[in-house]
Amino acid sequence: MAANEPSESYSKSELRGRIRARRAERSAVERQESGDSIAAHVMSIVAEHRSSSVACYFSTAHEPTTSALMDQLWAADIEVLTPRVRATELEWVQSTPTSDYTSGSFGIREVVGGEVLPLSKVNLVFLPALAVSAAGARLGQGGGFYDRALARLEDRPLLIAVLYADEDGIDVPSEAHDVAVDAVATEQGVRWTTTGTKSRSK
């Protein structure tokens, strides 16, 4: 699949497989540099929305790293909530540079212990994605964890998907329960979707 190739002929599972295979070919240097660039691009949005508490996630081996972003959030004295899988749901735990961690469900890093806090506390969520369409439809890993967590919120926070630039603007099969994102953050910058807004805040 070429970068940003329309994907009408691909099911979600096929598209996931193609993107995962392409991600596996990326070098550790590319993943780190992409994460560093993404952090530089989005911290101004955090400041603009006066975010004192945000949700983020620990990146997996083939995703753009979120380590630089989390380090900058902590350095700015911003509370960071990270997800922890409990059965079919996510709970959100306060994470700090000194938190203890383990390899949790699906091999994703999770905080051991830590204070469990409601996702409704944050006004900005950085969430992983394999691809995002021009209109903001997000392709996740297939578990539906984020869609279920976000669907419960009465006042939805700003949603920013993190991915590589060549995974943005792809036609993503979308279903009624899929939650669209407001913006896409890549190593090339931030793109606001047609359904998003720059002014949402709490």
* SS3 (DSSP) at 159: strand
Q: What tokens were used for 150?
A: 């976000």
Measured over the CA atoms of residue 22, residue 65, residue 100 and residue 56, the dihedral's sign is negative
The model's pTM is 0.90
Quickly list DSSP for 51-91: -SEEE-----TTSPP-HHHHHHHHHTT-EEEEEEEETTEEE
Look at 44-48, 115-119, 142-146 and tell me which has the smallest mean pLDDT.
142-146
Tell whether the model's pLDDT for residue 202 goes beyond 50.
no
Q: Please indicate whether residue 199 or residue 33 has the higher confidence score (pLDDT).
A: 33
pLDDT for 110: 93
164-191 pLDDT tens trace: 999 999 988 877 677 899 999 999 999 9
